[in-house]
Amino acid sequence: MKNIVCFGEVLWDVFPTHEKIGGAPLNVALRLHSLDNQVSIISRIGEDKKGKEIEKSIIEKGINTENLQVDRELNTGIVQVTLSQNGSASYDIAFPRAWDHIQIDDRAIKATQKADAFIYGSLVARDEGSKHTLYELLKLAKYKIFDVNLRAPYYNMEVLGHLMKEADFIKFNDDEILEIGQELGSKSNSLEGNISFIAELTDTKSICVTRGAHGAILYYGDNFYENKGYPIEVVDTVGAGDSFLASLTNGLIKAEDPQKTIDFACAIGAMVAGREGANPIFTPKEIQAFIKSRQ
């Protein structure tokens, strides 16, 4: 069992017909917990009904809420989610919200220092408050995993560059790495070329790029590993990348075989895309049956 801290936004995903608790760091935390890890989250909610519901839900699901701060001025985060005909999601993210003002304190510092891995994203750095806290905690973390999550207009290359250079491991999707690579001066149009370019430029040892239905490619230990994806009828893509990252993190920090780890992570991502919501629960038997049926 590993001790993992997830830093960033917790919020409500508001769909046309229903609402669900989410936010990439929380989605990652929940999946990591289901894979037998000790997980805590550093975030901030409003002093409102939606915040109380988030806190109650996180506690019930076994995530440590010691660093779930309460803001008396800003409301709990909300994201309006729109799904296209093929299940792909687009987001309208309310600003400012409580998670934009995560504070640094002794508890957050101690949690970060004790963690085997510290996972953070780019969206939480959209406001100076949480960005400052993140920058300070990154100085203390042992092993840093950066989940690139480009949501216009909430990112710029200066911040992304800093967050990449701080990371030991970076996860992109295919659109993100091509956009960032081009901005940084990469001449390559291939994923492998941009992975190598960014790894050298930022001195990052490990990089993974997801490719939607076409699986993922992992650069780890100076080698490339690939999974071509698992066929699935997509219901919605919300949380699929988060569960992929959690599953990948779980395998790699436990020193499991990189190829088996990326295969497992791609399977989990596909299974999430085939269900409604970001955090469907799967038994180990279901996961193995899914992988076996698509080999």
pLDDT in tens, 124-149: 999 999 999 999 999 999 999 999 99
For residue 35, give the CATH number of its domain. 3.40.1190.20
CA angle 135, 139, 143 (to 5 degrees): 110
Among positive and negative, which fits the CA dihedral 128, 131, 132, 133? positive
Percent share of the chain, pLDDT over 90: 82
- 72-83 mean pLDDT: 93
- 254-264 mean pLDDT: 96
Q: Which domain holds residue 118?
A: 3-293
200 pLDDT more than 80:
yes
Q: Give me the residue label for tokens 């093929």.
A: 86
- 265-273 mean pLDDT: 94
Q: Are 42 and 104 in contact (CB under 8 A)?
A: no
3 pLDDT more than 90:
yes
Domain count of the chain?
Answer: 1
The closest alpha carbon to 121, from 93, 152, 163, 78, belongs to 163
pLDDT of residue 194: 98
Among positive and negative, which fits the CA dihedral 30, 31, 35, 41? negative
The closest alpha carbon to 198, from 178, 213, 216, 215, belongs to 178
User: Sorting pLDDT into bands at 50, 70 and 90, what band is 293?
Assistant: confident
CA angle 80, 22, 240 (to 5 degrees): 95
User: Sorting pLDDT into bands at 50, 70 and 90, what band is 294?
Assistant: confident
pLDDT of residue 165: 98
82 pLDDT more than 90:
no
User: Sorting pLDDT into bands at 50, 70 and 90, what band is 164?
Assistant: very high
278 pLDDT more than 80:
no
Q: Are 198 and 182 in contact (CB under 8 A)?
A: no
Chain length of the chain: 295
Read off the DSSP letter of residue 84: -
- 174-187 mean pLDDT: 97
Region of poorest pLDDT, from 81-85, 117-121, 211-215, 248-252: 81-85
- 15-44 mean pLDDT: 94
Three-state DSSP state, 131: helix
277 pLDDT more than 80:
no
- 193-197 mean pLDDT: 98
Pairing of strands 117-121, 206-210: unpaired
User: Sorting pLDDT into bands at 50, 70 and 90, what band is 280?
Assistant: confident
User: Sorting pLDDT into bands at 50, 70 and 90, what band is 17?
Assistant: confident
- 175-194 mean pLDDT: 97
